[in-house]
Amino acid sequence: MEGILDNLSLAAKSLQTQTTKLTKHYHVTIAEWRLLRQIQNQVITQDAMAEALQLDTSTLSRQLKSLSSKELVSKTAVGKDRRQLEYALTATGQETLQHINADYDALIDAVFHYWPEDEQQMMKIMLNRLSRSIDRADSLLNETTH
């Protein structure tokens, strides 16, 4: 069984490398790209973004500051005391996100070009099953160590 997880780890590392090259071409990190996608999907407050991306607020703040300095997002103060911020993509942010998404889609198409649809669906099922098994194993290990 160790071989399966080793192979998965190698595949994940390879995908990470390819995705890093892709996002770096547009002067953003993978984390910033994920954040741009959240904002596009109307996850626009820091609390909602932190929850959706499972990030602590200090990490999220740094990423948002970076995206603001690159002029990819804008922020607007809202609420009674104007302390809550909502974020939106700028025109440059929308364009950048479209380019990255198109390049990422092309990468995924290239990866799965020769895979029949049924095998792609089976891979999704197996990866979801693996994820649940890893979560269960983690829970069991936490119970036995506490």
Closest CA to 98 of 27, 26, 42: 26
Mean pLDDT value of segment 124-136: 93
Mean pLDDT value of segment 36-62: 89
Tell me if 89 sits within 8 A of 72, measured CB to CB. Answer: yes
Mean pLDDT value of segment 55-65: 90
Q: Which span out of 3-7, 99-103, 142-146 was modeled with the highest average pLDDT? A: 99-103
Phi, psi of 86 (to 5 degrees): -115, 140
Given this model, what pLDDT does residue 140 score? 77
CA 115 to CA 14: how far, in whole Å? 18
What ranges in the chain are assigned the alpha helix state H? 2-25, 30-40, 46-53, 57-69, 91-111, 117-145
CA 48 to CA 45: how far, in whole Å? 5
Given this model, what pLDDT does residue 120 score? 96
CA 130 to CA 14: how far, in whole Å? 19
Element (H, E) at 29: none
Given this model, what pLDDT does residue 145 score? 67
- % of the chain with per-residue pLDDT over 90: 65
Q: Residue 8 above 60 pLDDT?
A: yes
Q: Which residue has the higher pLDDT, 42 or 13?
A: 13
Given this model, what pLDDT does residue 146 score? 58
* pTM exceeding 0.85: no
Mean pLDDT, the chain, as a whole number? 91
Mean pLDDT value of segment 67-81: 88
Q: b/e per residue, 95-121, with b = 16+ CB within 10 A?
A: ebbeebeebbeeeeeeeeeeeeeeeee
Please, which pLDDT band fits residue 97 given cuts at 50, 70 and 90?
Answer: very high
Q: Residue 128 above 90 pLDDT?
A: yes
